[in-house]
Amino acid sequence: MPYVISALNQKGGVGKTTTVFHLSAALSRMGYPVLAIDMDPQANLSLCLGLQHPSEVRWTVNTILRGDIEDGLYTPWYPTSEPGVSLIYGDIRLTSLEREMGSKAFAELTLRQCLKRMSLEDNHVVLIDCPPSLSYLTVNALVASRYCLIPFASGSRFSFDGFDLVENLIGEIQAYNEDLDILGVLLNMHDGRKKIHRAMFSSIQQKFGSKAFHATISPSVKLEETSAEGKSIFQHDRKSTGARDFMALGREVLSRLGLEPLVQEVTAEAEGEQAHGSAA
């Protein structure tokens, strides 16, 4: 079975889409096929990662959830700017879909049933970018997932607002998906030089214990530039702090899934050592 992980937080601006974008690239660089699913009607992940505009593709999350699918196994995804990462596009029409599907019986099982019909390998990692709300779309993602990843914005005193609602929703989803568990809690935009950020890191560790990721994502102009360019941080500047942070997060995610990297990504430090050895 593939490893299905939803990234969610009901608050916007916590780096959820950025996390899915660059974590997808990190995992693919460690040898795992990755499928990114954009469940957000704003389709920001699709605009970052996709090679086409969401309005130009046939298959989107909207068409899949509406049942416009072929018989048998199918592959409703598209290649992306990142080798090894495929994408099911988001779609602005998901907004109307929520209104139509929200009252239908067993509507929360739709994505889970669709994933079972897709031609996914057992070692596929599926990363789902949820909208910033606890809606029908988020419920569908969680019912289909084995794990969820919850990002917070470091240093924000409002970052924990509403987390009780997220926690309650996860508990309710376990009635449909008893295996659902929190893979980890991630601090984005974390500047360890600032007292308020260090205090929040400590609070995360105390509140979530082993569920808190050791890896954090530092604020970075390089990361901000990647969205406009449609390139992952590894394509934009693989020697940057952002690339280092997301590679560390990728390794920790694999460890929590009980997996090992299939490919060892060459780091900037390793390149330096190789050059030094050649010179010697």
Give the pLDDT band (50/70/90) at residue 275.
Answer: very low
Quick one: pLDDT at residue 189? 78
Instruction: Give helix 94-101 / helix 136-144 axis angle, nearest 10°.
Output: 80
Greater confidence (169 vs 267) lies with 169
Lowest model confidence (mean pLDDT) among 89-98, 160-169, 182-191: 160-169
CB atoms within 10 A of CB 68: 12
Pairwise CA distance, residues 252 & 273, whole Å? 24
Quick one: pLDDT at residue 221? 86
Condensed to tens digits (0 to 9), the pLDDT of residues 79-93 reads 999 999 999 999 998
Kindly state the tokens that stand for 35.
């499928």
Quick one: pLDDT at residue 157? 64
Quick one: pLDDT at residue 87? 98
Condensed to tens digits (0 to 9), the pLDDT of residues 252-268 reads 999 999 999 998 765 44
Pairwise CA distance, residues 88 & 79, whole Å? 9
Residues 103-108: what's their mean pLDDT? Answer: 68
Give the pLDDT band (50/70/90) at residue 177.
Answer: very high
Taking alpha carbons only, the member of 266, 231, 217, 254 closest to residue 125 is 254
Amino acid identity, residue 247? M
Lowest model confidence (mean pLDDT) among 64-68, 120-124, 145-149: 64-68
Kindly state the tokens that stand for 259.
């997996």
Pairwise CA distance, residues 226 & 266, whole Å? 21
Pairwise CA distance, residues 78 & 59, whole Å? 9
Greater confidence (73 vs 124) lies with 124
Quick one: pLDDT at residue 269? 40
C-alpha neighbours within 13 Å on the C-beta side of residue 172: 11
Condensed to tens digits (0 to 9), the pLDDT of residues 219-234 reads 888 888 898 888 999 9
Quick one: pLDDT at residue 279? 38
Percent with pLDDT over 70 in the chain: 88
Quick one: pLDDT at residue 105? 53
Is residue 267 within 8 Å of 244, Cβ to Cβ?
A: yes
